[in-house]
Amino acid sequence: MEPNNTESEKLHPPIKEKFKSIPETFGIRVNEEPIYNVLKKDGDFEVRHYPKQLIAKITLHGMSYDYFREHAFEKLAAYIFEGSESKKNEQLPMTDPILQHEDPNGAWTMSFILPKEYTLATAPKPKNPEIMLEEVEPYNAAVVTYSGNNKLSKIEEHKKELGEWVKKQNELAMTGHFFIAQYDAPFVVPHLKRNEVQVKVNTVH
C-alpha cells in the first residue's frame, strides 16, 4: 500500500538549473555525466569501465515504481538544490543519469552521482536521514541503450535483452542486480530520450 502523502516537497532549483531545461527539451544534455571507457561495443550493447563514484541515494519501500520515482526524486532534489546540514546555502549542480534499481524484497533505490570534484569528506551532508552518501568502487558494466518513455514494461524487456546478451559473451559474468539509468527529464521529446539498463560484470578467464 502506498503511503498517504498529500504534500509534495517544494523545490527551489537555482536559476541556472531552470535555464538548462530549454536545451534539454530538445535532447541537448548539459549536465555533467560520469566518465567511462568503452571496453566492447556491439550495436546498442556496450561493456564499460567506470572509475570510483560518489553517490547520494535513497531507498523507499512498499511503493509502485511510478510513485517511487516521483517521491524519491523530490527528496534527492531537495538535497541537491536546498543545501545540507553542514552548509546551508551550498547547492549542487544536477548530474546525469539518475540511477534506479529494485532489490529482491521489492524496495526501490534511486541514486544521483555527485559531481566529480566531491569526495565523501567534502560532499554536503544530507539533512534528510533517509539519504545516504556512498562511495562506489571502480567497476565494469554491461549496458544496453534505448530511447522513449521508460515504462516498467519497457525496462523489463531490456533487462531480458541485456541478460541474454551477456550470457552469449563467454568472457563475461553478471555480478549484481540490474539498474536503470535515465538521462532526461519527463518533458523531453520521447524519441530523443536516452535510457539504459546496466548490470555489473566481471571478466571470466
Q: Which three cell numbers stand for residue 112?
A: 544521483
Exposure string (b/e) for 47-56, b if CB count within 10 Å is 16 or more?
bbebeebbbb
Kindly state the average pLDDT of the residues 9-30: 53
Q: For 181, phi and psi rounded to 5 degrees?
A: -120, 120
pLDDT bucket at 31, cuts 50 / 70 / 90: confident
* pLDDT of 22 above 60: no
* pLDDT of 77 above 60: yes
pLDDT at 185: 83
Q: Contact, 62 vs 1, CB < 8 A?
A: yes
Q: Contact, 135 vs 56, CB < 8 A?
A: no
For the four alpha carbons of 75, 79, 82 and 85, in that order, the dihedral sign comes to positive
